[in-house]
Structure 1
Amino acid sequence: MKKTLTMTAIAAVTSTLLLNSGVVFASERPYVGVSYDFFKLDQDDGIGEFDTPAMTMKLGTKITPNFGVEGVLGYGVDKDSQRVNSMNVKAEIQDFYGLYATGFYPVSNMFEVTGKLGLAQVSTKLGSNSESDSSLSWGVGVRAYTQSNVSLNLDYVNLYQDSNTDVKGFSVGANYHF
Structure 2
Amino acid sequence: MKTLLIATTAAALALSGAAAANAQDVGQVYGSVGYQGTQNDTTDTNVNGINARVGTKITPHFGVEGEAAFGTNDDNGPGGEYKLTNKVAAYGVGFLPISPRFDLIGRVGVSDTNLKAPAVAGKLEQGTALEYGVGAQYHLENNFALRADYTKSDFNGDKGEAGTTSVSLIKKF
User: Superposition pairs for residues 1-178 of structure 1, below 5 Å?
Assistant: 10=10, 13-21=14-22, 24-25=23-24, 28-43=27-42, 49-82=44-77, 84=78, 89-128=80-119, 129-162=123-156, 163-178=158-173
Helix, strand or coil at the partner of 2:137: strand
| TM-score, structure 2 as length reference | 0.83
Gaps of 5+ in 1: 1-5
Structure 1 or 2, whichever has the larger Rg, is 1
- The aligned amino acid for 1:17 is A
Gaps of 5+ in 2: 1-5
RMSD (CA atoms): 2.4
Q: Cα offset for 1:176?
A: 0.2
Q: Cα offset for 1:160?
A: 4.5
Helix, strand or coil at the partner of 1:38: strand
CA distance in 2, matches of 1:92, 1:60: 27
Q: Could you give the per-residue CA deviations for residues 69-119 of structure 1, whole angstroms, max 9, x where no partner exists?
A: 00001111111014x5xxx51112110101100000011000010010011
| Percent identity for Structure 1 against Structure 2 | 25
CA distance in 2, matches of 1:50, 1:106: 35
| TM-score, structure 1 as length reference | 0.81
What is the number of residues matched between the two proteins? 163
